[in-house]
Structure 1
Amino acid sequence: MIDTEDDCAEWTFPAEPGAVRTARSLVRGRLRDWHLDSVDDMAALLVSELVTNALRHATGPIGVRLVRPRPQDGVLRVEVSDTLPDPPRARAARPEDESGRGLRLLACAARRWGTRPADPGKTVWFELAVPR
């Protein structure tokens, strides 16, 4: 685990169900340390969704990285990496479905989001606007 108090925080989790709760807690804690309480709920929710997707569809470690906003841009960047190279796909969830809404939630809540290849796998990233 790498955890810096400066401009970036990174963690790696085993592909186990407890990773979701731990990731959510660490993200909240770091954002509060950075005095970014205004986005900690949404960031934690979106990280939960992406880590859950990684657990369901990939194997191996899951990485979470936060990049602190610079004063001039006011944007928090969050990245979740896993070992599956395939980009995530949005599904059309029915009202009774228990899953399938994570990417739609991400698309609605994030300022921007996307994916990029990583070695191994991929990184799904999103940005949240931070009120100034």
Structure 2
Amino acid sequence: MPETDPQQPWEYTLHIPNDPRAVTVCHRTLRLILTMHGLITLVDVAELPATELVSNAVRHTKGPVALRVQWSPGVLRIGAWDADPEPPEPPNAWEQVAESEGGRGLALVRACADQWGWQPLSRHGRRGKYVWCAFAAA
């Protein structure tokens, strides 16, 4: 397997249909991307938050979705774009997660990632949002 220079930034975007089966495709694609770039140590911490971001986009919106995986030296950023411009619901506090029906996804993202956030996006006349999380490489 060719070595990847950890000082060189890279980025992948996977466009998926709004289909629950696509979440598994994203999960497996993320694992493959990180493994091929020699970031196997980040796979376990990144998979759950990435899966939650894509699951939320598929579950709570009607349009297409995209998974974005970016590497800048020392920082892995993963995000999900969807066609709904409405902001995500704020994550529940851990004390409320066990008692609530929903709100676990972003609470897990917040707990697992070093940072997370969202931003509205507009491109080619389409509006939406991008919800992301970041991990510092040890």
Q: How high is the TM-score relative to the length of structure 2?
A: 0.81
RMSD across aligned C-alpha pairs, in angstroms?
Answer: 1.6
Indicate if the aligned counterparts of 2:13 and 2:69 stay in contact, CA closer than 8 A. Answer: yes
1:42-76 per-residue CA deviation (whole Å, 9 max, x = no partner) reads 21211110111111111111111111131xxx110
Aligned identity (percent) is 34
After superposing the two structures, state which structure 1 stretch, 49-58 or 23-32, moved more: 49-58
User: Aligned ranges for residues 2-13 of structure 1 at < 5 Å?
Assistant: 7-13=10-16
Aligned to 2:136: 129
Task: Provide the aligned length of Structure 1 versus Structure 2.
Answer: 122
Moved over 4 A (4+): none
Q: How high is the TM-score relative to the length of structure 1?
A: 0.85
Unaligned ranges ≥5, structure 1? 1-5
Indicate if the aligned counterparts of 2:75 and 2:136 stay in contact, CA closer than 8 A. Answer: yes
User: Aligned ranges for residues 1-132 of structure 1 at < 5 Å?
Assistant: 7-70=10-73, 74-89=74-89, 90-91=91-92, 92-95=96-99, 97=101, 99-119=102-122, 120-131=127-138
Query: Which whole-Å CA distance do the structure 2 matches of 1:118 and 1:77 have between them?
Result: 17
Q: From the CA coordinates, give the structure whose radius of gyration is larger.
A: 2
Unaligned ranges ≥5, structure 2? 1-8
